[in-house]
Structure 1
Amino acid sequence: MSQTKVEDKRHLRSMVTRQKLLQAAKEVFLQEGFQKATISQMIKKANIGYGTAYVHFEGKEDLLIVLMEDVMGRFYEIAEISFLPNSKKKAEEIINKQAHSFLLLAEAERDMMQIFEQAIGVSSLVSEKWKAIREKFIQRISEDVAYAQQNGLARAELNHEIVARGWFFTNEMYLWEIIRNEHHGSVAEIAKTITAVYVTGLYL
């Protein structure tokens, strides 16, 4: 067998092992919560060797961060929706759709998001990762605000980065309320209301 084929097989086996471990980690986190979950439980559930597991991940925080990146990647796809409005009305439609989709996804991912919230509160590694994820969203929103300003749709005197932070933090606050089941009103109503307030303040 050629060296390339041997390496390909090894790489495939490595990817399968990694996926098994991530799936086991997800199940253990959901069952035990972040603090009680241990990497030993995950390794046992995945039915792989300790040495093999530590080749892929240093500990449970590493595993959770990969799971967090995966879930938040789906949220980020919403932020990436093409934003090229030619009117205030069109901008409001796109922004409302984004806010609604974002909060609906929070509802759909409630169980894992609850684990992320626990981890953010106790792990500096996970907390730093959340901050990095947050900045990525803010940067993307900032680009959309700048586009609206450059095209004469939004108030040019406002700092687009500060506006973006305010809009993300509003969404984030409602995201956690939904995850904790503490929200008042439906997701559609929340999205429509916060969008109307945001657009009214920013757009001309």
Structure 2
Amino acid sequence: MTNSPNELSPRKQQAMQTRKNILTAGRETFLENGFQKATIAQIIKKANTGYGTAYVYFKNKDEIFITLMEDLMNQFYEVAELSFTPNTKEEAYTLIKKQVRLFLTLAVDQRNLMKVVKEAIGVSPEVDQKWYKIRERFIERIAIDIRYAQENALAKKHLDASLIARGWYYANEMFMWELVNNESKYSIDDIILSLTENYTSGLYK
């Protein structure tokens, strides 16, 4: 059983608070400067801690950012993990459309940090590798929902669930980045409708 913060020793509570301070400072620094221009020195200064102390928790700014990115993406994963047990194609359509809306809306709501994520993926091998693992986690979760639909005679059984899941994820990610970067010439409602229509018409019976 995990102890609550109040049950931890003062030393452990202080350690947790120090780590939290570094992450908070990191988030602020990345949002202010972007990934490339942010430095570990800026983060440490903002966290009001020492270099030696900071390096106990994180080896570099990439590791700090990866932790922040994982926390952010866990919010997206909560959307992916929403209960998916439809009994009809119509129910599946409604659930899928809801997930797409939540996914894309969350990306827009977190636009500033998502822009830093996009930047970091392009310049940090560590962040890029972590993004690959995050992407694969989403794809596998989508495949689980597809297999459920196939096993319950809602979706076409001859289609490879993992392959369809990969295509579905990439379609959502593409529009996600367009919305985050304000590059889309389409409204979010039009994107949601198009994605859901194309996906369900191709996969479901």
TM range (shorter): over 0.9
What's 1:14 paired with? 15
Report the residue type matching 2:55 in the other structure: Y
C-alpha distance in 2, partners of 1:150/1:126? 36
CA deviation after TM superposition for structure 1 residue 164, in Å:
0.3
1:59 partnered with 2:60: yes
Distance in structure 2 (CA, Å) of the matches to 1:66 and 1:30: 15
Amino acid at match of 2:36: Q
TM-score of the superposition, structure 2-length normalised?
0.95
**Residues 1:112 and 2:113 aligned together:** yes
Q: Does 1:187 align with 2:179?
A: no
Cα offset for 1:152?
A: 0.3
What is the TM-score when the length of structure 1 is the normalising length?
A: 0.96
Letter in 2 for 1:174: F
**What corresponds to 2:128 in structure 1?**
127
Q: Distance in 1 between matches of 2:145 and 2:161?
A: 9
Task: Give 1:7 deviation, angstroms.
Answer: 6.5
- 4+ long deviations beyond 6 Å: none
Q: CA RMSD in A?
A: 1.2
**Counterpart-to-counterpart distance in 1, 2:73 and 2:49:** 27
Report the CA distance shift for 1:6/1:161 in structure 2 as closer, same or farther (over 3 A).
closer
Identical-residue share of aligned pairs (%): 49
Q: 1:143 aligned to 2:144?
A: yes
Aligned length, in residue pairs: 200
- Which amino acid in the other structure matches residue 48 of structure 1? T
- Separation in 2, partners of 1:171, 1:144: 16
Measured after TM superposition, the shift of residue 196 of structure 1 is 0.5
Q: Tell me the secondary structure at the aligned position of residue 170 of structure 2.
A: helix
In structure 1, stretches of 5+ residues that fail to align are: none
Tell me, in whole angstroms, the C-alpha distance in 2 between the residues paired with 1:154 and 1:45.
Answer: 52
Q: 1:170 maps to which residue?
A: 171
Separation in 2, partners of 1:72, 1:146: 24
C-alpha displacement of 1:188: 2.1
Summarize deviations over 1:100-128 as a string: whole Å, max 9, x none.
11000010000001001111001110000
**2:3 corresponding residue in structure 1:** none
What is the SS of the residue equivalent to 2:82?
Answer: coil
1:72 and 1:105 map into 2 onto residues whose CA distance is 10
